[in-house]
């Protein structure tokens, strides 16, 4: 493999390369970081943000944004908890209803954006406030505790070795990756994100497509909310607050463009999500001063996004040289 | 069609607004009106604090205007300016952070409206205000001191860790300092420097970081959380490791917290928890009300007074004698 090929390969997979480098770096600082158990913890903790980030990737692909996911998580988790605790509803039904609440919020976003022609940023900012408002109204700001039957789910294993939350995350990723990469729907999403007008001229029903991404985002936010409550067992008023930005950061770190048309769920968003969680875990493992941790965290994310932004130009340059050589 | 849609949306917004409107109840001429502006009610502690203040005010025949800033310091400033223009007699705030407390207090000073700052101290003393705060450092130190005494009984070195709150919150900083004071007091008791686990007052962050800390330092057997609301998270991490055990069990992690909430009360009773620092909410609410009413009656526009709640540590040792002083214990018994 010649030097140019190596550089090109590194450039094309910069996020993955950085991911491996960070993993090795923290492993060298704290050898326990290399354990399977630690990687399982990282994956487990990344699961809920990862699920939300997958939904966010769908929205970002169309050039939109969904700021309501954190509040959607909160409202859905509140509804689920109330149904289990007060209506004594079986967990499965309560979860299904809470997922439907997520779909409903996504539908409101979709309706406002595609029918009322409101800007996604403002629309989802409004639904963010409304969803949290409803949640606070229902709970009166009092924390909702979940029974052991729910929290025990976080310790259950699928096929005897995959923690439930990781299984749900990987299932969501698998379905999303297939939908985006192998279906007409996925190809149309990229087309809409790349050039809306051209997509319309090509006969794609853009509004319906865009609407579907917000509904998917709402559904996955609700699912992400449930996954995290199985781990923490309690929903208080701050639950999910700011998680929309973590989801956006994960998707963008994984290569998604805020302007639409670019991005993948796998490996993109998955790598972005796990990388953020890995850096946070690594900082704790290395016992870095807690006042320094946010600076290092932000620095590494900046570096990753910076490398990602310059790589496209560099790849184009390298390819141009190859064409000229040929 | 589009007009109909817009009309439908407007109706959807208007109907609930009218349904849930409290109506325009005007205060009587001689009735004192106090605005209570709080940053949010994200934990049981703040919910109980909110209840203690509003009930104390209303019991004293005071009209209360409530404003929730939803964790937005700028919004809180706007809300305070808004209530000032409504002509309130005084303002009580639970600020988002110490910096915004100063800014808001200065706005009240300029308007000549007495302001009280509840439970989260201003970052400096450049503004004039009534301040009621728990001495977080002293209370945390008292709780951790009990934990250290329990650790000494083991006759070996222990592995300490602290779950630190949001570093922008003076309460979190004070609690961390209280913990560190005990670390410095008994240098020979610790097997290593304390592991500091950031939580940002977020259960998910706390969960992830505590798991990492336990993975990196599996011998941790002395854990202090800067807020009781994180106990469910601690349980979910320690239980799978076989470390969620009763006091006295060989695998028991010496456990302490601060706030004195309902969960802490339950864990103390069940003997999972060694100690928790308690802020005397009801005492704090009374102190604030007395100082505010005195200022209003004396016509003081910019009263300036700092009032400390010394608090205390409720431990397994004094549970029988002092439990009733803890607000969370009272609520726990009511729930039971």
The pLDDT assigned to B29 comes to 59
B196 chain-A contacts, CB cut-off 8 A: 287, 289-290
Encoding tokens for residue B17?
């607004």
User: Percent of chain B, pLDDT > 90?
Assistant: 63
Interface of A with B in 76-135 (CB under 8 A): 115-116, 132
User: What confidence tens digit (pLDDT) does each residue in A50-82 have?
Assistant: 999 999 999 999 999 999 999 999 999 999 999
Structure confidence at residue B273 (pLDDT): 97
- The CB density around residue B61, as the number of other CB atoms within 10 Å, is 10
Q: Is the pLDDT of residue A201 over 50?
A: yes
Q: What is the pLDDT of residue B3?
A: 65
Shortest alpha-carbon distance between residue A140 and chain B (Å): 9
The pLDDT, as a whole number, for residue A302 is 85
- DSSP one-letter code for B228: G
- Are A155 and B240 in contact, with CB atoms under 8 Å apart? yes
A45-305: in CATH 1.25.40: no
Q: Is pLDDT at B11 greater than 90 in this prediction?
A: no
What proportion of chain B, given as a percentage, has pLDDT over 70?
91
Match domain B136-279+314-335 to its CATH number in 3.40.109.10, 1.10.3720.10, 3.90.470.20, 3.40.50.2300: 3.40.50.2300
What pLDDT score does A31 carry?
85
Interval A18-25 mean pLDDT: 89
pLDDT at A2 over 60: yes
What is the residue extent of each domain of chain B?
32-133+280-309, 136-279+314-335
Handedness of CA A21, A26, A31, A36 (dihedral sign): negative
Closest CA to A107 of A99, A195, A52: A99
Q: Say which residues have a Cβ less than 8 Å from residue B19's Cβ, sequence separation at least 6.
A: none
Share of chain A above pLDDT 70, in %: 96
B5, B47, B164 member nearest A116 (Cβ): B5
Contact A46, A276 (CB under 8 A): yes
Confidence of residue A326 (pLDDT cuts 50, 70, 90): low
**CB-CB neighbours of B318 under 10 Å:** 14
Mean pLDDT value across residues B198-221:
93
User: B124-146: per-residue pLDDT in tens?
Assistant: 889 999 999 889 999 999 999 99
By the 8 A CB rule, do B114 and B292 touch?
Answer: yes
Q: Are B160 and B195 within 8 A, CB to CB?
A: yes
The helix or strand, by DSSP H or E, that contains position A87, with its residue range, turns out to be: none
- B177 inside 8 A of chain A by CB: no
Query: At A170, is the pLDDT very low, low, confident or very high (cuts 50, 70, 90)?
Result: very high
Terminal-to-terminal C-alpha distance of chain A: 17
Considering only alpha carbons, which residue of chain B is nearest residue A45? B208
pLDDT at residue A325 greater than cutoff 70: no
Give the number of beta-carbon pairs within 8 Å between A and B. 109
Q: Which residue has the tokens 């028991």?
A: B252
Q: By the CB < 8 Å criterion, does B209 face chain A?
A: yes
Instruction: Say whether pLDDT at B83 is over 50.
Output: yes
**Which positions in chain B touch A232 (Cβ < 8 Å)?**
203-204, 207, 232-233, 236
Q: Answer whether B230 touches A (CB < 8 Å).
A: no
- Check: CB of residue B260 under 8 Å from CB of residue B318: no
Tell me the pLDDT tens digit for each residue of B273-305: 999 999 888 888 889 989 999 999 999 999 999
Chain A hits for B5, CB-CB cut-off 8 Å, are 115-116
Largest Cα–Cα separation, chain B: 79
d(CA A191, CA A185): 10
**pLDDT on residue B15:** 65
Q: Peptide bond before A2: cis, by omega within 30 degrees of 0?
A: no
Does this chain's domain B32-133+280-309 share its CATH topology with B136-279+314-335? yes
Nearest to B71 among A241, A285, A289 (CB): A241
Alpha-carbon distance A23 to A43, whole Å?
13
| pTM for this model (two decimals) | 0.81
CATH match for B32-133+280-309 among 3.30.70.3450, 3.65.10.10, 3.40.50.2300, 3.40.50.620: 3.40.50.2300
What is the tens place of the pLDDT at every residue in A85-132?
Answer: 999 999 999 999 999 999 999 999 999 999 999 999 999 999 999 999
pLDDT of residue B13: 59
CA dihedral (A94, A224, A182, A43) positive or negative: negative
**Residue A295 contacts by C-beta under 8 Å, 6 or more apart in sequence?**
none
pLDDT tens figures, A283-294: 999 888 989 998
When CB atoms are compared, the residue of A45, A285, A289 closest to B207 is A45
Kindly tell me if the per-residue pLDDT of B25 is higher than 80.
no
pLDDT band for position A311 (50/70/90)? confident
Interface probe with A: pick from B5, B216, B231, most Cβ of A within 10 Å:
B216
pLDDT at B20 over 60: no
Instruction: Convert the pLDDT of each residue in B43-63 to its tens digit.
Output: 777 888 888 888 888 888 899
Of B236, B287, B301, B282, the residue nearest B263 (C-alpha) = B236
Round the average pLDDT of chain A to a whole number and report it: 90
φ, ψ of residue A158 to 5 degrees: the values are -90, 135
What 3-state DSSP class applies to A30?
coil
Q: Which pLDDT value is given to residue A257? A: 86
Nearest-Cα distance to chain B for A41, in Å, is: 7
Using a CB-CB cut-off of 8 Å, the residues of chain A touching B233 are 232-233
pLDDT at B71: 77
Q: Which residue would you say has higher pLDDT here, A227 or A160?
A: A227
B5–A143 CB contact, under 8 Å = no
- DSSP character for B195? E
Write the CB contacts of A259 (distance below 8 Å, at least 6 apart in sequence). A63, A193
Take residue A102 and report the two structure tokens written for it. Answer: 């997520």
Nearest CB partner across the interface for A231, out of B201, B229, B236? B236
The mean pLDDT of A130-148, rounded to a whole number, is 88
Please check whether residue B211 touches A, CB under 8 A. Answer: yes
Residue of A117, A154, A312, A133 lying closest to A233 (CA atoms)? A154
Say if CB B197 and CB B231 are below 8 A apart: no
* pLDDT for residue A315 is more than 80: no
* pLDDT of A9 strictly over 90: no
d(CA B272, CA B244): 7
């Amino acid at each position: 493999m010649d030097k140019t090929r190596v550089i090109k390969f590194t450039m094309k997979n910069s996020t993955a390369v950085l991911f491996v480098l960070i993993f090795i770096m923290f492993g060298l600082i704290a050898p326990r970081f290399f354990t399977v158990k630690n990687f399982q913890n990282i994956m487990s903790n990344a699961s809920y943000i990862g699920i939300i980030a997958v939904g966010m990737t769908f929205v970002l692909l169309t050039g939109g944004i969904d700021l309501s996911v954190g509040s959607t998580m909160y409202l859905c988790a509140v509804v689920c908890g109330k149904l289990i605790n007060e209506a004594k509803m079986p967990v499965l039904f309560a979860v299904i209803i809470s997922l439907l609440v997520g779909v409903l919020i996504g539908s409101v976003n979709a309706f406002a954006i595609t029918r009322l022609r409101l800007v996604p940023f403002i629309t989802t900012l409004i639904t963010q406030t409304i969803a949290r408002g409803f949640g606070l109204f229902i709970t009166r700001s009092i924390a909702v505790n979940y029974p052991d039957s729910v929290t025990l789910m976080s310790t259950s294993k699928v096929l005897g070795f995959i923690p439930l939350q990781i299984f749900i995350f990987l299932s969501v990723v698998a379905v999303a990756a297939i939908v985006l990469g192998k279906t007409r729907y996925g190809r149309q999403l990229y087309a809409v994100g790349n050039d809306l007008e051209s997509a319309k001229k090509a006969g794609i029903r853009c509004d319906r497509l865009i609407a579907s991404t917000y509904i998917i985002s709402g559904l996955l936010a609700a699912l992400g909310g449930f996954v995290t409550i199985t781990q923490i067992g309690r929903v208080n008023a701050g639950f999910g607050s700011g998680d929309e930005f973590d989801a956006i950061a994960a998707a963008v770190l994984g290569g998604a463009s805020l302007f639409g048309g670019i991005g993948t769920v796998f490996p993109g968003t998955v790598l972005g999500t796990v990388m953020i969680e890995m850096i946070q875990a690594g900082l704790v493992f290395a016992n870095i001063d807690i006042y320094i941790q946010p600076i290092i965290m932000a620095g590494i994310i900046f570096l990753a996004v910076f490398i990602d932004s310059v790589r496209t130009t560099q790849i184009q340059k390298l390819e141009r040289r190859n064409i000229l050589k040929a | 069609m589009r007009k109909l849609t817009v009309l439908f949306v407007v109706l959807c917004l208007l109907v609930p607004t009218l349904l849930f409107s409290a109506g325009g109840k005007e205060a009587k001429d001689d009735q004192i009106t106090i605005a209570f502006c709080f940053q949010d009610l994200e934990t049981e502690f703040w919910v109980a604090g909110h209840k203690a203040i509003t009930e104390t005010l209303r019991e004293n025949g005071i009209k209360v205007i409530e404003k929730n800033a939803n964790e937005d310091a700028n919004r809180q400033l706007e809300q305070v300016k808004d209530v000032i223009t409504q002509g309130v007699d005084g303002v009580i705030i639970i600020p988002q952070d110490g910096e915004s407390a100063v800014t808001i207090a200065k706005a009240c000073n300029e308007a000549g409206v007495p302001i009280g700052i509840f439970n989260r101290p201003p970052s400096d003393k450049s503004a004039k205000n009534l301040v009621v705060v728990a001495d977080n450092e002293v209370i945390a130190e008292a709780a951790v001191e009990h934990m250290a005494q329990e650790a000494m009984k083991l006759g070996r070195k222990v592995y300490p860790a602290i779950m630190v709150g949001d570093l922008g919150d003076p309460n979190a900083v004070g609690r961390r300092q209280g913990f560190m004071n005990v670390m410095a007091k008994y240098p020979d008791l610790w097997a290593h420097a304390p592991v500091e686990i950031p939580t940002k007052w977020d259960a998910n962050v706390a969960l992830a970081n505590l798991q990492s800390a336990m993975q990196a330092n599996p011998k941790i057997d002395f854990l202090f959380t800067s807020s009781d609301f994180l106990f469910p998270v601690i349980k979910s991490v320690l239980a799978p490791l076989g470390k969620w055990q009763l006091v006295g069990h060989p695998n028991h992690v010496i456990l302490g917290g601060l706030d004195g909430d309902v969960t802490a009360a339950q864990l103390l009773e069940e003997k999972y928890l060694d100690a928790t620092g308690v802020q005397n909410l009801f005492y704090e609410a009374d102190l604030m009300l007395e100082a505010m009413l005195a200022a209003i009656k004396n016509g003081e526009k910019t009263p300036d007074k700092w009032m400390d709640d010394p608090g205390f540590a409720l431990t397994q040792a004094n549970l029988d004698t002092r439990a009733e002083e803890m607000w969370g214990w009272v609520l726990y018994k009511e729930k039971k």
